[in-house]
Amino acid sequence: MPFTISPGGEAGRAGGLRALAVLLLALAPLRAAAQDAAPAPGVADLPVVRPAGSCADLLKTDLTDIGGEGSAVQRAEEVTNDAGIAACSVQGTLAPSITFAVVLPTETWTQRYLQLGCGGLCGRLSVDQVGAASGCQVLQAGGFAVAATDMGHQGSDATWGNDPQKRADFAHRANHLTALAAKALIAAFYGQGPQFSYFTGCSDGGREALIEAQRYPDDFDGIIAGAPAANFQVQNSVYHAWQAVANKDAEGRAILLADRLPILHRAVLAQCDGLDGVEDGLIANPLACDFDPGTLQCEAGASDTSACLTPAEVEVVRKLHDGPSDPATGKRLTIGGPQWGSELRWTVFVPEAATDTTQSEDHAVEAITGVSLPENPPEGLTLADVAFDEARIEQLAALHPLYDATNPDLSGFQGSGGKLILYHGWSDTDISPLNTIAYYEAVRAQMGDAAAEGFARLYLFPGMYHCSQGEGPYEVDLLTPMMAWVEGGQAPDGIVARQPQGGEGNEFGQFGPGKGGPPGADDAATAPLPGYPAAEAPSTDLARSRPVYPYPALPAFSGHGDPNDAADWTKGDATVAFTAPDWAGAGFFTPYQPMERQ
194-219 per-position pLDDT tens digit: 999 999 999 999 999 999 999 999 99
- Return the pLDDT at 527: 82
Q: Which helix (H) or strand (E) holds 548?
A: strand 542-548
What type of residue is 336? Answer: G
Interatomic CA distance for residues 417 and 233, integer angstroms:
30
Interatomic CA distance for residues 390 and 235, integer angstroms:
15
Interatomic CA distance for residues 427 and 178, integer angstroms:
32
The per-residue b/e assignment along 185-199, b for 16 or more CB within 10 angstroms, e otherwise, is bbebbbeeebebbbb
State the average pLDDT for the chain.
90
Q: Residue 94 pairs with which residues in a beta bridge?
A: 98
Confidence bin at 20 (pLDDT 50/70/90)? very low
Cβ atoms of 261 and 237 within 8 Å: the answer is no
User: Which CA distances in Å does 489 have to 37, 41, 112, 288, 558?
Assistant: 20, 11, 17, 34, 29
Interatomic CA distance for residues 217 and 342, integer angstroms:
34
What type of residue is 371? Answer: V
Give the lowest-confidence range in 69-78, 158-167, 257-266: 158-167
User: Which CA distances in Å does 417 have to 197, 341, 380, 454, 591?
Assistant: 12, 37, 49, 10, 20
**Nearest one of 581, 585, 341 to 437, comparing CA atoms:** 581
- 6 or 340, higher pLDDT: 340
**Nearest one of 424, 566, 552 to 132, comparing CA atoms:** 424
**C-alpha torsion sign, points 117, 120, 124, 128:** negative
Confidence bin at 15 (pLDDT 50/70/90)? very low
- Return the pLDDT at 37: 55
Provide the greatest CA pair distance for the chain. 102
The pLDDT tens digits for 478-501 are 999 999 999 999 999 999 999 999
**Nearest one of 249, 338, 580 to 439, comparing CA atoms:** 580
Q: What angle do CA 511, 496, 563 make, to 5 degrees?
A: 85
Q: Residue 457 pairs with which residues in a beta bridge?
A: 421
Confidence bin at 275 (pLDDT 50/70/90)? very high
Which residues neighbour 124 within 8 Å (Cβ) at sequence distance 6 or greater? 118, 150, 154, 156, 518, 519, 520, 521, 522
**Nearest one of 95, 197, 93, 94 to 144, comparing CA atoms:** 197
Mean pLDDT of 552-565: 94
Please count the CA atoms within 13 angstroms of the CA of 469 that sit on its side-chain side: 15
Interatomic CA distance for residues 148 and 90, integer angstroms:
11
